[in-house]
Amino acid sequence: MKAIWKIILSLAAVVLALFVVTFTVYFFNLDMKLTAAIEPFLLKHYDKIKRDSHL
């Protein structure tokens, strides 16, 4: 019985921790702040790709 409770409590703790982390990311818009930081590197990368540009 004790072991079952331990598993349930551990699961609840994991779910709670996941909620706290994801809700913090959501509320403070951290996902968008991160992707905004990535964008310039991607754009530089696209500039380096060789293309067959023509009409």
In angstroms, the CA 38 to CA 40 distance is 6
Query: How remote is the C-alpha of 34 from its chain's centroid?
Result: 9
Report if residue 43 touches another protein, rule: CB under 8 A. yes
* Residue 22 within binding range of another protein, rule CB under 8 A: yes
Q: What contacts 31, CB < 8 A, 6 or more positions away?
A: 25
Question: Does 52 engage in binding with another protein (CB under 8 A)?
Answer: yes
Asked if 4 is part of the footprint of another protein (rule: CB under 8 A), the reply reads no
| Residues near another protein, by CB under 8 A | 22-23, 26-29, 31-33, 35-36, 38-39, 42-43, 45-46, 49, 51-55
